[in-house]
Amino acid sequence: MAAILPPGPLMVDVQGCTLTAHEIERLQHPLVGGVILFSRNFESREQLTALCQAIHAARTEPLLITVDHEGGRVQRFKSDGFTTLPSMRRLGEIWMDDSLAAMRLATETGYVLGAELRACGVDLSFTPVLDLDYGGSQVIGDRAFHREPQIVAMLARALIQGLMLSGMAACGKHFPGHGYVQADSHHEIPVDDRPLEDIMREDAAPYGWLGDMVLPSVMPAHVIYSQVDPNPAGFSSFWINTILREHLNYNGVVFSDDLTMEGATVAGDILARAKAALTAGCDMVLVCNRPDLADDLLGRLEHTPSESSIARIRALMPRVVSPDWATLQSQARYQYARDLQSEIISG
């Protein structure tokens, strides 16, 4: 019997709708701990379910399967029965008319989001976005709930409750906040020149209010907060250890954002980026859309995760068995929550 390997610190992706022999070999590398899926990995629910089963079967202790599936314009799976989910800004708009209704609807959205993914074998969606909607960020835009941190925190809490009802954990992003800067960290290196006090009072506030009991994982931004630290937040021990771990008393998982993004290039090559993120306090780093860089990193990275890091990552795995798709369709709770989604979108 193969040895049971603990989850490693690297999250990789796969290129198609089935696994190649080389991808299976890559997933069995002891430094790999998870897989992130994209739209290219989806042809049908049946295919997606088989792909997730194959990824889980690649290791004795199954890898964590993740996806960016937030609702609105960031929803990787949209056909073959998957419900079209509203943008988070839409929930914020409803809040302005009826806050209690908005929270109820956010819970139902979170439940549908999580239940459908889990029925196909996906373990975690990188959601909710906790960035504030300042109105100038093209990459955030309607992915954010609202401009006010209190409203963001309340709607995020409600959405996370829905995820929990489906058996899925949550990931808040992008700490301490990507909403103020206009530059897109996928293609540029954003710089936020505000003082620490302003950022903590506004953008970082939802993280302190929610905490790790509600928000079991966090993803820092590839943004440089120039008055605070010369490094992007995901490469900054000050942001991750001093502010997040110590000041906010946060003990959940910290994921890096994708290390192939332009905002990560300030740290150097892919090995330097991974080392910078892990040294700063990230538990797991993401390498997306560049299998060559993933293989390069696996061939050169030397890193032994701490027992606390391993335990945090393991805690993100679902703890209850999810109903399959057919069983899910027969559940009145699911049908009720699903039918609400088109009403939310249409207003």
222 is catalytic: no
Catalytic residue among 133, 257, 258, 283: 257
Say what angle helices 99-119 and 149-165 make with each other, to 10 degrees.
Answer: 40
Q: Specify whether the CB–CB gap between 325 and 75 falls below 8 A.
A: no
Q: Does 338 show up as a binding residue in the annotation?
A: no
- Tokens 């250890």 correspond to 241
Phi and psi angles of residue 177, each rounded to the nearest 5 degrees, phi first: 160, 130
Q: Specify whether the CB–CB gap between 225 and 199 falls below 8 A.
A: yes
Q: Does 143 show up as a binding residue in the annotation?
A: yes
End-to-end CA, the chain:
55
Q: Does 173 show up as a binding residue in the annotation?
A: yes
Whole-angstrom Cα distance, residue 21 to residue 86? 38
Catalytic residue among 80, 184, 186, 296: 186
Indicate the residue type of 177.
G
Query: Over the Cα atoms of the chain, what is R_g?
Result: 19
Q: Does 68 show up as a binding residue in the annotation?
A: yes
186 is catalytic: yes
Q: What dihedral do alpha carbons 259, 169, 281, 183 form, nearest 10°?
A: 40
Q: Does 76 show up as a binding residue in the annotation?
A: yes
Binding-site residue numbers are 68, 76, 143, 173-174
Could you list the active site residues? Answer: 186, 257
Binding-site residue numbers for substrate are 68, 76, 143, 173-174
